[in-house]
Structure 1
Amino acid sequence: MENHEPGTENNTSDENLDHLAKDIESTLKFVKSSKRPAVQHCIIRSVNPLLRRVNEAAYRPLFVIIGPLRCYTSLLEPMELQKRIYLASFLQRPGVGASLNEFCKLITASAPEIRSRYEETYYRRCDFKAHQIQQNIPPSDDNLQWFIEMVLADAAFIIELFLRIYHKEGQPESEIDFVFDSPGKIYDIRRDLFLAHNQLPLFVLKQIYDLAFGNNPDHHPSFIHLSCNFFYQYFNQNISIHDLFQPNQPHVDFIAKLEGAKHFTDLLRTLQLQHSFQNPGSNSKSFSCKPMFKCSSC
Protein backbone atom coordinates (compact mmCIF):
# COMPACT_ATOMS: atom_id res chain seq x y z
CA MET A 1 0.00 0.00 0.00
CA GLU A 2 1.42 3.36 -1.06
CA ASN A 3 1.97 6.04 1.49
CA HIS A 4 1.14 9.64 0.52
CA GLU A 5 2.42 12.60 2.36
CA PRO A 6 -0.33 14.70 3.90
CA GLY A 7 -1.66 17.31 1.47
CA THR A 8 -0.03 15.79 -1.64
CA GLU A 9 -3.32 14.81 -3.29
CA ASN A 10 -4.82 18.20 -2.55
CA ASN A 11 -1.80 19.95 -4.05
CA THR A 12 -2.06 17.84 -7.21
CA SER A 13 -5.75 18.55 -7.45
CA ASP A 14 -5.17 22.28 -7.01
CA GLU A 15 -2.53 22.26 -9.76
CA ASN A 16 -4.91 20.51 -12.14
CA LEU A 17 -7.62 23.02 -11.36
CA ASP A 18 -5.18 25.87 -11.97
CA HIS A 19 -4.29 24.43 -15.38
CA LEU A 20 -7.97 23.95 -16.19
CA ALA A 21 -8.78 27.52 -15.21
CA LYS A 22 -5.93 28.83 -17.38
CA ASP A 23 -7.14 26.74 -20.33
CA ILE A 24 -10.66 28.11 -19.95
CA GLU A 25 -9.34 31.67 -19.71
CA SER A 26 -7.28 31.12 -22.86
CA THR A 27 -10.33 29.77 -24.68
CA LEU A 28 -12.44 32.73 -23.57
CA LYS A 29 -9.81 35.19 -24.80
CA PHE A 30 -9.65 33.41 -28.16
CA VAL A 31 -13.44 33.42 -28.57
CA LYS A 32 -13.65 37.06 -27.53
CA SER A 33 -10.98 38.12 -30.02
CA SER A 34 -12.11 35.88 -32.88
CA LYS A 35 -13.31 37.69 -35.99
CA ARG A 36 -16.89 36.53 -36.08
CA PRO A 37 -19.19 38.58 -38.34
CA ALA A 38 -21.51 41.00 -36.62
CA VAL A 39 -25.13 39.94 -36.92
CA GLN A 40 -26.16 43.20 -38.57
CA HIS A 41 -23.51 42.75 -41.29
CA CYS A 42 -24.18 39.08 -42.03
CA ILE A 43 -26.45 38.92 -45.08
CA ILE A 44 -25.51 35.55 -46.62
CA ARG A 45 -26.40 32.56 -44.50
CA SER A 46 -26.88 28.83 -44.90
CA VAL A 47 -30.40 27.64 -45.53
CA ASN A 48 -32.09 26.28 -42.42
CA PRO A 49 -31.37 22.50 -42.36
CA LEU A 50 -35.00 21.71 -41.59
CA LEU A 51 -36.12 23.69 -44.62
CA ARG A 52 -33.43 22.22 -46.85
CA ARG A 53 -34.36 18.70 -45.79
CA VAL A 54 -37.82 19.13 -47.34
CA ASN A 55 -36.27 19.42 -50.81
CA GLU A 56 -32.49 19.07 -50.92
CA ALA A 57 -32.32 19.50 -54.69
CA ALA A 58 -33.96 22.93 -54.55
CA TYR A 59 -30.99 24.34 -52.64
CA ARG A 60 -28.13 22.50 -54.34
CA PRO A 61 -26.16 24.30 -57.10
CA LEU A 62 -26.03 22.18 -60.23
CA PHE A 63 -22.94 23.62 -61.89
CA VAL A 64 -21.45 26.75 -60.40
CA ILE A 65 -20.36 27.36 -56.79
CA ILE A 66 -20.14 31.03 -55.84
CA GLY A 67 -18.73 32.52 -52.66
CA PRO A 68 -17.11 31.09 -49.53
CA LEU A 69 -20.16 30.20 -47.44
CA ARG A 70 -20.38 26.44 -47.88
CA CYS A 71 -17.78 23.76 -47.23
CA TYR A 72 -17.12 21.43 -50.18
CA THR A 73 -14.62 18.58 -50.23
CA SER A 74 -14.66 18.63 -54.04
CA LEU A 75 -15.95 20.93 -56.76
CA LEU A 76 -16.65 20.57 -60.46
CA GLU A 77 -13.28 21.05 -62.17
CA PRO A 78 -14.62 22.08 -65.64
CA MET A 79 -16.59 24.90 -64.04
CA GLU A 80 -13.60 26.19 -62.08
CA LEU A 81 -11.51 26.04 -65.24
CA GLN A 82 -14.21 27.97 -67.08
CA LYS A 83 -14.08 30.67 -64.42
CA ARG A 84 -10.38 31.17 -65.17
CA ILE A 85 -11.06 31.29 -68.90
CA TYR A 86 -13.69 33.96 -68.30
CA LEU A 87 -11.31 35.82 -65.98
CA ALA A 88 -8.70 35.93 -68.76
CA SER A 89 -11.33 37.14 -71.25
CA PHE A 90 -12.54 39.79 -68.81
CA LEU A 91 -9.03 41.14 -68.26
CA GLN A 92 -8.49 41.36 -72.03
CA ARG A 93 -11.78 43.12 -72.77
CA PRO A 94 -11.48 46.45 -74.58
CA GLY A 95 -12.08 49.28 -72.17
CA VAL A 96 -11.04 47.46 -68.99
CA GLY A 97 -9.14 50.16 -67.15
CA ALA A 98 -7.39 48.14 -64.46
CA SER A 99 -4.74 45.46 -64.22
CA LEU A 100 -4.92 42.08 -62.53
CA ASN A 101 -2.77 43.48 -59.73
CA GLU A 102 -5.24 46.33 -59.15
CA PHE A 103 -8.18 43.94 -58.93
CA CYS A 104 -6.28 41.85 -56.37
CA LYS A 105 -5.50 44.98 -54.34
CA LEU A 106 -9.18 45.96 -54.35
CA ILE A 107 -10.28 42.54 -53.06
CA THR A 108 -7.51 42.51 -50.45
CA ALA A 109 -8.65 45.88 -49.11
CA SER A 110 -12.29 44.73 -49.07
CA ALA A 111 -11.61 41.25 -47.67
CA PRO A 112 -12.67 41.98 -44.05
CA GLU A 113 -15.91 43.58 -45.23
CA ILE A 114 -16.61 40.74 -47.67
CA ARG A 115 -16.06 38.08 -45.00
CA SER A 116 -18.29 39.96 -42.56
CA ARG A 117 -21.22 39.43 -44.91
CA TYR A 118 -21.11 35.65 -44.44
CA GLU A 119 -22.31 33.47 -41.61
CA GLU A 120 -19.11 31.46 -42.04
CA THR A 121 -16.37 31.25 -44.64
CA TYR A 122 -14.25 28.57 -46.24
CA TYR A 123 -11.45 29.28 -48.67
CA ARG A 124 -11.20 27.48 -52.00
CA ARG A 125 -7.98 25.96 -53.28
CA CYS A 126 -7.66 24.85 -56.89
CA ASP A 127 -4.82 22.53 -57.87
CA PHE A 128 -5.62 21.87 -61.51
CA LYS A 129 -2.47 19.82 -62.08
CA ALA A 130 -3.50 17.38 -59.36
CA HIS A 131 -7.20 17.71 -60.28
CA GLN A 132 -8.06 18.70 -56.72
CA ILE A 133 -10.62 21.46 -56.18
CA GLN A 134 -11.62 21.94 -52.56
CA GLN A 135 -13.44 24.57 -50.54
CA ASN A 136 -12.85 23.48 -46.98
CA ILE A 137 -9.99 25.66 -45.73
CA PRO A 138 -10.67 27.71 -42.57
CA PRO A 139 -9.82 31.38 -43.09
CA SER A 140 -6.57 32.83 -41.82
CA ASP A 141 -4.20 35.62 -42.78
CA ASP A 142 -1.69 33.00 -43.94
CA ASN A 143 -3.93 31.74 -46.74
CA LEU A 144 -5.63 34.99 -47.75
CA GLN A 145 -4.37 34.53 -51.32
CA TRP A 146 -6.85 31.69 -51.82
CA PHE A 147 -9.70 33.93 -50.73
CA ILE A 148 -8.58 36.69 -53.10
CA GLU A 149 -8.34 34.29 -56.05
CA MET A 150 -11.72 32.74 -55.21
CA VAL A 151 -13.53 36.08 -55.07
CA LEU A 152 -11.83 37.36 -58.22
CA ALA A 153 -12.54 34.18 -60.21
CA ASP A 154 -16.19 34.10 -59.10
CA ALA A 155 -16.74 37.81 -59.72
CA ALA A 156 -15.01 37.85 -63.11
CA PHE A 157 -17.02 34.81 -64.20
CA ILE A 158 -20.28 36.56 -63.31
CA ILE A 159 -19.34 39.86 -64.94
CA GLU A 160 -17.98 38.25 -68.11
CA LEU A 161 -21.05 36.01 -68.40
CA PHE A 162 -23.40 38.97 -67.95
CA LEU A 163 -21.49 40.98 -70.57
CA ARG A 164 -21.63 38.15 -73.10
CA ILE A 165 -25.38 37.79 -72.57
CA TYR A 166 -25.96 41.55 -72.72
CA HIS A 167 -23.97 42.07 -75.91
CA LYS A 168 -25.21 38.78 -77.41
CA GLU A 169 -21.64 37.72 -77.99
CA GLY A 170 -21.07 34.31 -79.43
CA GLN A 171 -18.57 31.80 -78.17
CA PRO A 172 -15.06 32.53 -79.51
CA GLU A 173 -13.98 29.88 -82.00
CA SER A 174 -10.78 29.22 -80.07
CA GLU A 175 -12.56 28.79 -76.74
CA ILE A 176 -14.23 25.73 -75.25
CA ASP A 177 -17.12 27.13 -73.23
CA PHE A 178 -18.48 24.87 -70.50
CA VAL A 179 -21.43 27.23 -70.01
CA PHE A 180 -22.78 26.96 -73.55
CA ASP A 181 -21.63 23.47 -74.53
CA SER A 182 -25.11 21.98 -74.16
CA PRO A 183 -28.62 23.38 -74.65
CA GLY A 184 -30.29 24.64 -71.53
CA LYS A 185 -27.24 24.72 -69.26
CA ILE A 186 -27.37 28.51 -69.08
CA TYR A 187 -30.81 28.22 -67.46
CA ASP A 188 -29.40 25.94 -64.77
CA ILE A 189 -26.51 28.34 -64.20
CA ARG A 190 -28.93 31.26 -63.96
CA ARG A 191 -30.81 29.31 -61.32
CA ASP A 192 -27.55 28.56 -59.46
CA LEU A 193 -26.73 32.26 -59.34
CA PHE A 194 -29.85 33.23 -57.42
CA LEU A 195 -29.64 30.52 -54.73
CA ALA A 196 -29.57 32.28 -51.37
CA HIS A 197 -26.41 30.61 -50.05
CA ASN A 198 -24.53 30.76 -53.38
CA GLN A 199 -23.77 34.47 -53.47
CA LEU A 200 -21.19 37.21 -53.56
CA PRO A 201 -22.18 40.54 -52.00
CA LEU A 202 -23.28 42.91 -54.74
CA PHE A 203 -21.05 45.66 -53.41
CA VAL A 204 -17.87 43.78 -54.35
CA LEU A 205 -19.22 42.91 -57.80
CA LYS A 206 -20.00 46.59 -58.34
CA GLN A 207 -16.55 47.61 -57.09
CA ILE A 208 -14.80 45.26 -59.51
CA TYR A 209 -17.06 46.28 -62.40
CA ASP A 210 -16.63 49.99 -61.68
CA LEU A 211 -12.85 49.59 -61.40
CA ALA A 212 -12.90 47.96 -64.83
CA PHE A 213 -15.24 50.33 -66.64
CA GLY A 214 -15.70 53.34 -64.37
CA ASN A 215 -13.51 55.56 -66.53
CA ASN A 216 -15.92 55.23 -69.44
CA PRO A 217 -19.44 54.88 -67.99
CA ASP A 218 -21.21 56.26 -71.08
CA HIS A 219 -20.13 53.24 -73.12
CA HIS A 220 -21.05 50.58 -70.56
CA PRO A 221 -24.31 49.78 -68.79
CA SER A 222 -24.35 49.88 -65.01
CA PHE A 223 -23.76 46.59 -63.24
CA ILE A 224 -27.36 46.59 -61.98
CA HIS A 225 -28.55 47.03 -65.57
CA LEU A 226 -26.40 44.05 -66.59
CA SER A 227 -27.75 41.97 -63.72
CA CYS A 228 -31.39 42.77 -64.45
CA ASN A 229 -30.82 41.94 -68.10
CA PHE A 230 -29.43 38.53 -67.10
CA PHE A 231 -32.39 37.81 -64.80
CA TYR A 232 -34.96 39.38 -67.15
CA GLN A 233 -37.17 36.27 -67.02
CA TYR A 234 -38.05 37.09 -63.43
CA PHE A 235 -38.91 40.73 -64.11
CA ASN A 236 -42.70 40.57 -64.05
CA GLN A 237 -43.52 44.19 -64.81
CA ASN A 238 -45.27 45.87 -67.72
CA ILE A 239 -42.08 47.52 -68.87
CA SER A 240 -38.95 46.08 -70.40
CA ILE A 241 -35.53 46.10 -68.76
CA HIS A 242 -34.29 48.15 -71.71
CA ASP A 243 -36.94 50.84 -71.18
CA LEU A 244 -36.47 50.80 -67.41
CA PHE A 245 -32.84 51.87 -67.73
CA GLN A 246 -33.29 54.43 -70.49
CA PRO A 247 -31.91 57.89 -69.60
CA ASN A 248 -34.39 60.47 -68.35
CA GLN A 249 -37.06 57.89 -67.58
CA PRO A 250 -39.28 58.46 -64.51
CA HIS A 251 -38.30 55.20 -62.79
CA VAL A 252 -35.54 56.47 -60.53
CA ASP A 253 -37.21 55.24 -57.35
CA PHE A 254 -37.50 51.66 -58.58
CA ILE A 255 -33.93 51.65 -59.89
CA ALA A 256 -32.80 52.93 -56.47
CA LYS A 257 -34.46 49.89 -54.89
CA LEU A 258 -32.61 47.63 -57.32
CA GLU A 259 -29.34 49.39 -56.53
CA GLY A 260 -29.95 48.74 -52.84
CA ALA A 261 -30.08 44.96 -53.24
CA LYS A 262 -27.53 43.08 -51.13
CA HIS A 263 -27.05 40.10 -53.45
CA PHE A 264 -28.78 38.41 -56.40
CA THR A 265 -31.42 36.68 -54.26
CA ASP A 266 -32.31 40.08 -52.86
CA LEU A 267 -32.30 41.56 -56.36
CA LEU A 268 -34.83 38.97 -57.55
CA ARG A 269 -37.09 39.81 -54.63
CA THR A 270 -36.93 43.45 -55.65
CA LEU A 271 -37.64 42.63 -59.29
CA GLN A 272 -40.81 40.93 -58.07
CA LEU A 273 -42.08 43.88 -56.05
CA GLN A 274 -45.35 45.34 -57.19
CA HIS A 275 -44.62 48.79 -58.54
CA SER A 276 -46.56 51.47 -60.37
CA PHE A 277 -44.71 52.76 -63.40
CA GLN A 278 -45.69 56.02 -64.99
CA ASN A 279 -46.44 55.63 -68.66
CA PRO A 280 -43.73 57.58 -70.52
CA GLY A 281 -46.30 58.68 -73.08
CA SER A 282 -48.67 60.22 -70.57
CA ASN A 283 -48.52 62.53 -67.60
CA SER A 284 -51.42 60.90 -65.83
CA LYS A 285 -51.55 57.23 -66.66
CA SER A 286 -49.62 54.65 -64.71
CA PHE A 287 -49.42 50.91 -64.87
CA SER A 288 -48.35 48.19 -62.52
CA CYS A 289 -47.97 44.48 -62.39
CA LYS A 290 -48.24 42.05 -59.51
CA PRO A 291 -45.49 39.49 -59.02
CA MET A 292 -46.19 36.23 -60.78
CA PHE A 293 -43.09 34.30 -59.79
CA LYS A 294 -41.50 33.34 -56.52
CA CYS A 295 -38.14 31.61 -56.54
CA SER A 296 -37.75 28.59 -54.29
CA SER A 297 -34.67 29.99 -52.59
CA CYS A 298 -36.19 33.35 -51.62
Structure 2
Amino acid sequence: MVTIENHRLAAIVEKINTPPKLLSKAAGRDTCSIFKVPKSFNDVNGTLYQPQIISIGPFHHGFAHVQMMEEHKYHYLGQLLRRTAMDLRDLFVAVGPLVDPARECYSQPFGLEDIQFLEMLVVDGCFIIELFRKVSKLVTFEEDDPIASMSWIFPALLRDLHRLENQIPFFVLQCLYDLTFGKDSCKSITLATLTLEFFNHTIQRPKHIVWKYKVSSIIIL
Protein backbone atom coordinates (compact mmCIF):
# COMPACT_ATOMS: atom_id res chain seq x y z
CA MET A 1 0.00 0.00 0.00
CA VAL A 2 1.29 3.45 -0.97
CA THR A 3 1.09 6.12 1.71
CA ILE A 4 1.36 9.84 1.01
CA GLU A 5 3.20 12.09 3.41
CA ASN A 6 1.82 15.32 4.79
CA HIS A 7 4.39 17.53 3.07
CA ARG A 8 3.35 16.15 -0.32
CA LEU A 9 -0.30 16.75 0.46
CA ALA A 10 0.57 20.30 1.50
CA ALA A 11 2.43 20.85 -1.77
CA ILE A 12 -0.59 19.65 -3.76
CA VAL A 13 -2.90 21.92 -1.80
CA GLU A 14 -0.58 24.85 -2.54
CA LYS A 15 -0.77 24.08 -6.26
CA ILE A 16 -4.54 23.84 -6.03
CA ASN A 17 -4.70 27.29 -4.44
CA THR A 18 -2.25 28.91 -6.86
CA PRO A 19 -3.95 30.60 -9.86
CA PRO A 20 -2.60 29.53 -13.27
CA LYS A 21 0.19 31.76 -14.54
CA LEU A 22 1.04 30.48 -18.01
CA LEU A 23 -2.60 30.62 -19.09
CA SER A 24 -4.51 32.86 -16.73
CA LYS A 25 -8.25 33.11 -16.12
CA ALA A 26 -8.27 36.17 -18.35
CA ALA A 27 -7.69 33.89 -21.34
CA GLY A 28 -11.17 32.41 -20.94
CA ARG A 29 -12.99 35.72 -20.70
CA ASP A 30 -14.62 37.68 -23.49
CA THR A 31 -12.32 40.58 -22.67
CA CYS A 32 -9.21 38.60 -23.66
CA SER A 33 -8.04 39.29 -27.20
CA ILE A 34 -4.22 39.17 -27.13
CA PHE A 35 -2.64 35.74 -26.78
CA LYS A 36 0.80 34.23 -26.57
CA VAL A 37 1.64 31.84 -29.37
CA PRO A 38 1.92 28.22 -28.12
CA LYS A 39 5.50 27.07 -27.56
CA SER A 40 5.09 24.28 -30.10
CA PHE A 41 4.49 26.88 -32.82
CA ASN A 42 7.54 28.88 -31.77
CA ASP A 43 9.66 25.74 -31.74
CA VAL A 44 8.84 25.13 -35.40
CA ASN A 45 9.40 28.67 -36.62
CA GLY A 46 9.49 31.27 -33.87
CA THR A 47 10.49 34.10 -36.23
CA LEU A 48 7.00 34.06 -37.71
CA TYR A 49 5.43 35.02 -34.40
CA GLN A 50 7.96 37.28 -32.68
CA PRO A 51 8.59 40.94 -33.56
CA GLN A 52 11.80 41.65 -35.41
CA ILE A 53 12.35 45.38 -34.90
CA ILE A 54 9.61 46.82 -32.64
CA SER A 55 7.72 45.65 -29.58
CA ILE A 56 4.12 46.71 -29.02
CA GLY A 57 2.54 45.63 -25.75
CA PRO A 58 4.07 43.83 -22.76
CA PHE A 59 4.99 40.37 -24.08
CA HIS A 60 8.21 41.52 -25.80
CA HIS A 61 8.72 44.81 -23.98
CA GLY A 62 12.35 45.50 -23.07
CA PHE A 63 13.87 42.75 -25.23
CA ALA A 64 17.31 43.70 -26.56
CA HIS A 65 16.59 43.08 -30.24
CA VAL A 66 13.74 45.63 -30.36
CA GLN A 67 15.52 48.51 -28.60
CA MET A 68 16.41 50.25 -31.87
CA MET A 69 12.82 51.43 -32.34
CA GLU A 70 12.23 52.23 -28.68
CA GLU A 71 13.87 55.65 -29.08
CA HIS A 72 11.66 56.40 -32.08
CA LYS A 73 8.54 55.71 -30.02
CA TYR A 74 9.47 58.50 -27.61
CA HIS A 75 10.48 60.74 -30.51
CA TYR A 76 7.04 60.30 -32.09
CA LEU A 77 5.40 60.97 -28.73
CA GLY A 78 7.33 64.25 -28.54
CA GLN A 79 6.19 65.19 -32.03
CA LEU A 80 2.56 64.56 -31.09
CA LEU A 81 2.84 66.67 -27.94
CA ARG A 82 4.49 69.58 -29.76
CA ARG A 83 2.04 69.54 -32.65
CA THR A 84 -1.07 69.34 -30.47
CA ALA A 85 0.29 71.53 -27.62
CA MET A 86 -0.89 68.87 -25.18
CA ASP A 87 0.51 68.15 -21.73
CA LEU A 88 2.12 64.74 -21.23
CA ARG A 89 0.32 64.32 -17.92
CA ASP A 90 -3.05 64.55 -19.68
CA LEU A 91 -2.26 61.40 -21.67
CA PHE A 92 -1.43 59.48 -18.49
CA VAL A 93 -4.54 60.74 -16.71
CA ALA A 94 -6.74 59.67 -19.64
CA VAL A 95 -5.25 56.19 -20.03
CA GLY A 96 -4.82 55.52 -16.30
CA PRO A 97 -8.36 54.13 -15.78
CA LEU A 98 -7.76 51.70 -18.66
CA VAL A 99 -4.83 49.89 -17.04
CA ASP A 100 -6.93 47.18 -15.36
CA PRO A 101 -9.21 46.56 -18.39
CA ALA A 102 -6.11 46.44 -20.60
CA ARG A 103 -4.50 43.77 -18.40
CA GLU A 104 -7.63 41.67 -18.87
CA CYS A 105 -6.97 41.62 -22.62
CA TYR A 106 -3.81 39.51 -22.25
CA SER A 107 -3.92 35.74 -21.92
CA GLN A 108 -0.87 35.58 -19.66
CA PRO A 109 0.44 37.76 -16.82
CA PHE A 110 3.55 39.84 -17.41
CA GLY A 111 6.12 41.41 -15.13
CA LEU A 112 5.22 45.08 -15.47
CA GLU A 113 4.00 47.15 -12.55
CA ASP A 114 0.97 49.35 -13.18
CA ILE A 115 3.00 52.53 -13.71
CA GLN A 116 5.34 50.74 -16.14
CA PHE A 117 2.38 49.23 -17.97
CA LEU A 118 0.69 52.65 -18.15
CA GLU A 119 3.81 54.28 -19.62
CA MET A 120 4.09 51.48 -22.17
CA LEU A 121 0.43 51.89 -23.21
CA VAL A 122 0.84 55.65 -23.68
CA VAL A 123 4.16 55.45 -25.55
CA ASP A 124 3.22 52.51 -27.78
CA GLY A 125 -0.26 53.88 -28.42
CA CYS A 126 0.93 57.35 -29.39
CA PHE A 127 3.58 55.86 -31.67
CA ILE A 128 0.96 53.81 -33.52
CA ILE A 129 -1.40 56.77 -33.87
CA GLU A 130 1.36 59.03 -35.18
CA LEU A 131 2.54 56.34 -37.58
CA PHE A 132 -0.99 55.88 -38.94
CA ARG A 133 -1.37 59.64 -39.44
CA LYS A 134 2.00 59.99 -41.15
CA VAL A 135 1.42 57.07 -43.50
CA SER A 136 -1.99 58.53 -44.40
CA LYS A 137 -0.25 61.88 -45.10
CA LEU A 138 -2.31 63.70 -42.50
CA VAL A 139 0.93 64.53 -40.71
CA THR A 140 4.23 65.06 -42.47
CA PHE A 141 7.19 62.78 -41.84
CA GLU A 142 10.21 64.65 -40.56
CA GLU A 143 13.03 65.01 -43.04
CA ASP A 144 15.33 61.97 -42.90
CA ASP A 145 12.93 60.03 -40.66
CA PRO A 146 14.36 56.49 -41.08
CA ILE A 147 10.88 54.96 -40.97
CA ALA A 148 10.11 56.79 -44.21
CA SER A 149 13.55 57.03 -45.79
CA MET A 150 14.99 53.55 -45.21
CA SER A 151 13.25 51.13 -47.53
CA TRP A 152 13.42 48.05 -45.29
CA ILE A 153 12.07 49.57 -42.07
CA PHE A 154 8.46 50.23 -43.04
CA PRO A 155 7.80 46.69 -44.39
CA ALA A 156 9.34 45.30 -41.18
CA LEU A 157 7.06 47.53 -39.10
CA LEU A 158 4.03 46.33 -41.04
CA ARG A 159 4.93 42.71 -40.37
CA ASP A 160 5.57 43.34 -36.66
CA LEU A 161 2.27 45.19 -36.17
CA HIS A 162 0.46 42.15 -37.56
CA ARG A 163 1.95 39.73 -35.04
CA LEU A 164 -0.42 38.15 -32.55
CA GLU A 165 1.71 38.73 -29.45
CA ASN A 166 2.63 42.28 -30.44
CA GLN A 167 -0.55 44.24 -29.65
CA ILE A 168 -2.22 46.70 -27.30
CA PRO A 169 -6.00 46.94 -26.92
CA PHE A 170 -7.79 49.02 -29.55
CA PHE A 171 -9.74 50.88 -26.87
CA VAL A 172 -6.44 52.32 -25.59
CA LEU A 173 -5.64 53.59 -29.08
CA GLN A 174 -9.16 55.00 -29.34
CA CYS A 175 -8.76 56.85 -26.04
CA LEU A 176 -5.49 58.44 -27.14
CA TYR A 177 -6.87 59.24 -30.57
CA ASP A 178 -10.00 60.88 -29.12
CA LEU A 179 -7.82 62.93 -26.78
CA THR A 180 -5.92 64.40 -29.74
CA PHE A 181 -8.95 64.47 -32.05
CA GLY A 182 -9.50 67.88 -33.62
CA LYS A 183 -6.05 69.13 -32.60
CA ASP A 184 -4.70 69.02 -36.15
CA SER A 185 -5.57 68.26 -39.77
CA CYS A 186 -6.76 64.71 -39.03
CA LYS A 187 -9.88 65.83 -37.19
CA SER A 188 -12.26 64.54 -39.87
CA ILE A 189 -10.95 60.95 -40.04
CA THR A 190 -11.76 58.20 -37.57
CA LEU A 191 -9.22 55.84 -36.08
CA ALA A 192 -11.01 52.87 -37.67
CA THR A 193 -10.53 54.39 -41.12
CA LEU A 194 -6.88 55.18 -40.47
CA THR A 195 -6.30 51.63 -39.28
CA LEU A 196 -7.94 50.10 -42.36
CA GLU A 197 -5.95 52.34 -44.68
CA PHE A 198 -2.68 51.57 -42.90
CA PHE A 199 -3.07 47.80 -43.04
CA ASN A 200 -4.30 48.02 -46.60
CA HIS A 201 -0.59 48.22 -47.46
CA THR A 202 -0.35 44.50 -46.69
CA ILE A 203 -3.95 43.22 -46.83
CA GLN A 204 -5.44 44.64 -49.98
CA ARG A 205 -9.15 45.33 -49.69
CA PRO A 206 -11.46 46.53 -52.45
CA LYS A 207 -11.74 50.32 -52.34
CA HIS A 208 -15.46 50.15 -51.69
CA ILE A 209 -14.78 48.41 -48.35
CA VAL A 210 -12.61 51.25 -47.06
CA TRP A 211 -15.04 53.79 -48.55
CA LYS A 212 -17.93 52.09 -46.75
CA TYR A 213 -16.06 52.52 -43.46
CA LYS A 214 -15.40 56.18 -44.25
CA VAL A 215 -19.05 56.86 -45.01
CA SER A 216 -20.29 55.08 -41.89
CA SER A 217 -17.74 56.96 -39.78
CA ILE A 218 -18.86 60.32 -41.17
CA ILE A 219 -22.49 59.45 -40.39
CA ILE A 220 -21.55 58.54 -36.82
CA LEU A 221 -19.65 61.80 -36.39
Fold in common (TM above 0.5): yes
Q: Which category of TM-score, normalised to the shorter sequence, fits these structures?
A: 0.7 to 0.9
Alignment match, 1:236: 205
TM-score (norm 2): 0.78
The SS at the match of 1:199 is: coil
Residue among 49, 69, 74 paired with 1:79: 69
Coordinate RMSD, CA, aligned: 3.3
User: Which runs of structure 2 are paired with 1:5-24 in the superposition (5 Å)?
Assistant: 17=6
- Give SS of 1:76's match: helix
Distance apart, 1:30 and its partner CA? 5.4
Give the secondary-structure state (helix, strand or coil) at the position aligned to 1:89.
helix
> How has the CA–CA distance of structure 1 residues 72 and 109 changed in structure 2, closer, same or farther, with 3 Å as cutoff?
same
Greater strand percent: which structure? 1
Aligned to 1:120: 108
1:59 match: 49
Distance 1:168 1:214 in 2: 12
How many residues are paired up?
Answer: 211
Structure 2 partner of 1:171: 141
- 2:106 is paired with a residue of what secondary structure? coil
* Cα distance, 1:105 vs structure 2: 1.9
SS at match of 1:171: coil
The answer on whether the counterparts of 1:82 and 1:178 sit within 8 Å (CA) in structure 2 is: no
- What is the deviation of 1:146? 1.1
What is aligned with 1:12?
Answer: none
Letter in 2 for 1:50: S
Provide the TM-score with structure 1 as the length reference.
Answer: 0.60
Shift in Å, 1:218 = 8.5
Amino acid corresponding to residue 44 of structure 1 in structure 2:
I
Distance 1:25 1:79 in 2: 45
1:69 and 1:118 in contact (8 A); partners too = no
Alignment correspondent of 2:188: 220
Q: Greater shift after overlay, 82-91 or 51-60? A: 51-60
Among 160, 172, 176, which residue is 1:192 paired with?
Answer: 160
The 2-side partners of 1:145 and 1:75 are apart by 23
Q: Give percent identity, aligned residues only.
A: 25
Q: Is the 8 A contact 2:102 2:169 kept in 1?
A: yes
Higher relative contact order (CA 8 A, sep 6+): 2
Aligned to 1:93, what secondary structure does the other structure show? helix
Q: Is there any run of 5+ residues in structure 2 with no aligned partner, and where?
A: none
Higher fraction of helix: 2
**Aligned counterparts of 1:65 and 1:218: Cα–Cα separation in 2:** 26
Aligned to 1:104: 92
Report which of the two structures shows the higher radius of gyration computed on alpha carbons: 1
Alpha-carbon displacement from aligned partner over 1:138-187 (angstroms, at most 9, x marks no partner) = 24xxx3221111111110110000011112644324xx634234113211
Query: In the alignment, which of 34, 37, 40 is matched to residue 26 of structure 2?
Result: 37
Report deviation, 1:62: 1.7
